[in-house]
Each structure stands twice: as C-alpha cells, then as structure tokens.
Amino acid sequence: MNYAIFRSEPIFTLQDLAQIGSHNKREKKAYNSNPDIKIELSKENIELVPLADKYVKGFYNLTKEYKKEHEERMKTEREDRKKSFKQMVDKSKSVVADELLFTASNEFFKNMSKEDILLWANTCMEFVYQDLGYTKEQVLHSTIHMDEKTPHIHCVVVPLIQKLDKRTNTVRYAISKKQYIKDSIHLSELQDRYHKRLTDKGFDLERGIKHSNTEHIKIKEYKKITKKLNQTLTVRNDKLNQAMDDLESKMKTNKETVFDKEYVKVKKETFDSMNHVIQETKKVMEMQPKLEQLFDEVETYTTDYQSIQKENKSLQKEIKSLKTRNHNLVEENKTLKHYIKSILRAIKQFFRELLQIGNDPTKEAVTTEIKQYYCNEDFTRDDVVEIARDTTKEEELFDYVGYEKYQNKSNNYDKNDLSL
C-alpha cells in the first residue's frame, strides 16, 4: 500500500530557520551526513514558490510591518525591557515559521513522470492554501526535492496574522501556528482532508498512519535531544536554586527599617535578588513548551513504531529505553512545575505584602512589575486582582486589567489566599 504523508515541523528560532533554508535550497557543496542526497541531481529539484534570498532575509521582508510595529512599541518601553525584533521573535513561545512536509511511499513515485509529480505537488499546495488557509504571501519558500530517494516537498510558511489585543483594544501583528494547526487532534483532521484531496484528484493513496508525524526521526536523534534538554534543564535548575539561596540570604541579612506602623523600607539589593529569581523562573518556564512537545513526539514515535516493528527485538529494546527515559523526564517536569508554582505563589505573596506595607516608591515599582507580568501573560487577571485587593493600588490595577470590583462583591474572599 502507498501512503499519503503530511507532517508539520515547528521552527522556533531564526538560526534554525537559516539552517533549514541552507538545507532546502541546497547551499552546501556536499551532504556527507545525509547519504540519500545526490547533489548531482539537485538541478532536477522543482521550485514551487521560489525565494531568491536567504531564508532569514526573506523572513524579514515578509514580516517588515510586524517589525515596524514592534520597534514603534519599543520607543515607549522601559530601557531594561527593550528587545530587538530578533530577540522578541526568538524568545517568543510561538514559532518563527512552520515547515510543512509532503511525500508518499517510495513505490508511489516509481515510473511517475515529472509532469505527474508536479500535478501531485500542485495538489499539495492547494491543500496549503485552501485547507490550511495560508495565503501565498505567507509562504516563504516551497520546493520539491527530486535529489533524494523519495520525492518530497518542503513548504516553509510564516503564520503571520493580525489579531485583537484585548488589553489595549488594538489590532496587532503576531506569529501564531495555532491559528492554522490548533493541536494534534486538529492535525489528524487535516491529514484526513489532505488524503481526501489527493484521492479526489485520482491519486491512489491510503491515509498515512495516524499519529506518525515523527516516523522518520531516528531514535539516536531523540536521545541527543533528550540529553541536551536534560543538560539545559539541570543548568536552569541550578541557576534558579542559586537565585533562591541568594534571595533568602538577602532577606535574612538586609533587615527592613521600620518608618512607622504602615510603611517599611525594602533594600534595593533584596528587591534585585527577588527580580533575579523571577527572571530565572521565567527561563525555566520557557522550556516547558519544548519539553512537552518532546514528550508528545517520543510517545507518538514509540506507539507507532511498536505497531510497525513488532518482530524487531533490537528496536523494541530501544523503544523500551526511550519510554523509560520519557517517563523520567515527565516526572522531572511535574516536579519542576510544582516547584515553579511554589515560587510564583511566593512571588505573588511578596508583591502583595509590598503593596500593603511598602513605602510609596516601593509600591510604584511593584505596580509597574505587576503590570509587566500581566502584559507578558505571566500573571492572569485573577492573579492581579488577588494581589491588589484592599491595597492602595487596588483601583489602579483593577482598572488596568479591566476588572470591576462590584463583579465579585457577593463572593467570599480570603485576601491572604494567593494560591495558583
């Protein structure tokens, strides 16, 4: 049986985008790491959506209005919070681009003419435009690789959209893959539609194995990824622990100076230590999407591969090892999330106490921090409400997050309850 295959691979940084561009456009003279590539046949590759420039330059051209909007916003941003456009997109929780891969079983392409392959490829691009919903302007580059064992399409898209920012009530640019592929369930539905589009055009193909997006990634590559993430996670945890120890030390040695019954003075180095803890916490939290994506991929990979390779004992041992490693990572991730929740709970409590007993400059600084955390989606509206309630900054912060005090008058509220 010949299978129709469609996969989606997220691209998280501009450096990754540049490397993918170099591969897709065959900019190297040799590909020793990939023996399937016959560079002498690369002249047979077909450009579906050409790109004369490098991928990163093409990305900047495609997102120039987004870049302008960001730079304009940075003019009024606090100095220590300013980011270049590159820094912003690289550190975003979203992708910078998405690579769509289309192919089929090798037998499908045997004895197929170049014209028939092009007809198949154009049908794939119809799927990109009509089923996924991308416009031609959002396609950075699309090419058919004819210089490998099995012909396949690399279609790189930038899911640039404009959406309403509810906080400012303005329309802003954003890059959002979820606008086009919401989750794994939606992806499976799209793969059904992809298969139907091909069969409606007369291509004799079976629907690809469900949940098999990662079937071509080798086990050793997963090991390399998990090892690197483990190392990064260990470093992040160590830095976070150091920051916490430093904060605890400052809290013990830098005693608050009481001015009167209502106000206390918080030393700057203590406040700086607290901010260091917050920053290290955010760095750990930024790893969560990548970790969770890896867990999903490993789980999908092992499940599908077991069904295909039941008799292969060697592979089954590797799969068992991967499952154990994945389970350990999941447990570590649960512990880490619990740790982060505890830290955030302490931070919110600390903010609330400063709003209750700090002097005016301290309250102003804390209020600015709270607003920034809300803008960055680190705090929810409920978090801000809980922190600010019954303090002198209540009205200002309630107004900032669009919360009407009367909405919750009937609810019993414990002002010391700052649990997540």
The first and second tokens of residue 190, run together, are 């799209």
pLDDT digits (tens, 9 = 90+) for 32-47: 667 778 888 889 999 9
What is the distance between the alpha carbons of residues 29 and 316, in angstroms, rounded to a whole number? 37
What is the distance between the alpha carbons of residues 125 and 194, in angstroms, rounded to a whole number? 10
Which H or E element spans position 152? strand 152-157
What is the distance between the alpha carbons of residues 178 and 194, in angstroms, rounded to a whole number? 18
Mean pLDDT computed over every residue of the chain: 80
Highest mean pLDDT (candidates 103-107, 195-199, 371-375): 195-199
Cα angle 14, 19, 22; round to 5: 125
- Between 286 and 396, the more confident residue is 396
Cα angle 162, 187, 156; round to 5: 55
Dihedral sign of CA atoms 149, 153, 158, 164 in order: negative
Q: Is 357 exposed, middle or buried (0-12, 13-18, 19+ CB in 10 A)?
A: middle
What is the reported pLDDT for 291? 64
Please name the residue ranges forming H helices in 309-418: 313-357, 360-375, 381-388, 394-401
What is the distance between the alpha carbons of residues 79 and 139, in angstroms, rounded to a whole number? 35
Determine which of 290-299, 358-367, 379-388 has the lowest per-residue pLDDT on average: 290-299
What is the distance between the alpha carbons of residues 11 and 156, in angstroms, rounded to a whole number? 9
Highest mean pLDDT (candidates 286-295, 327-336, 353-362): 353-362
What is the reported pLDDT for 220? 52
Q: Looking at the predicted structure, is the pLDDT value of residue 320 above 90?
A: no
Residue tagged 């329309």 (tokens): 171
Determine which of 84-88, 305-309, 372-376 has the lowest per-residue pLDDT on average: 305-309
- Between 282 and 147, the more confident residue is 147
What is the distance between the alpha carbons of residues 174 and 172, in angstroms, rounded to a whole number? 7
Beta-carbon contacts of residue 198 (< 8 Å; ≥ 6 apart): 4, 120, 123, 205
pTM greater than 0.75: no
What is the reported pLDDT for 410? 43
CA distances from 162 to 61, 66, 171, 304 (A): 17, 9, 6, 37
What is the distance between the alpha carbons of residues 382 and 402, in angstroms, rounded to a whole number? 11
What is the distance between the alpha carbons of residues 387 and 418, in angstroms, rounded to a whole number? 7
What is the reported pLDDT for 60? 97
Q: What is the DSSP string of 194-247?
A: HHHHHHHTT---EEPPTT-TTTTS-HHHHHHHHHHHHHHHHHHHHHHHHHHHHH
Q: Looking at the predicted structure, is the pLDDT value of residue 420 above 60?
A: no
pLDDT digits (tens, 9 = 90+) for 80-91: 889 999 999 998
Determine which of 237-246, 287-296, 330-339, 405-414 has the lowest per-residue pLDDT on average: 405-414
Average pLDDT, integer, range 210-216: 49
- Between 278 and 9, the more confident residue is 9
What is the distance between the alpha carbons of residues 225 and 152, in angstroms, rounded to a whole number? 25
Checking DSSP bridges between strand 139-145 and strand 97-104, what pairing results, if any? unpaired
What is the reported pLDDT for 119? 95
What is the reported pLDDT for 269? 67
> CB of 154 within 8 A of CB of 101?
yes
Determine which of 7-11, 338-342, 381-385 has the lowest per-residue pLDDT on average: 338-342
Beta-carbon contacts of residue 289 (< 8 Å; ≥ 6 apart): 93
Beta-carbon contacts of residue 306 (< 8 Å; ≥ 6 apart): 316, 319
pLDDT digits (tens, 9 = 90+) for 133-147: 999 999 999 999 999
Which H or E element spans position 11? strand 3-11
Structural domains in the chain, CATH included, are: 3-213 (3.30.930.30), 220-408 (no CATH)
- Between 250 and 383, the more confident residue is 383
Q: Looking at the predicted structure, is the pLDDT value of residue 10 above 60?
A: yes
pLDDT digits (tens, 9 = 90+) for 61-73: 999 999 999 999 9
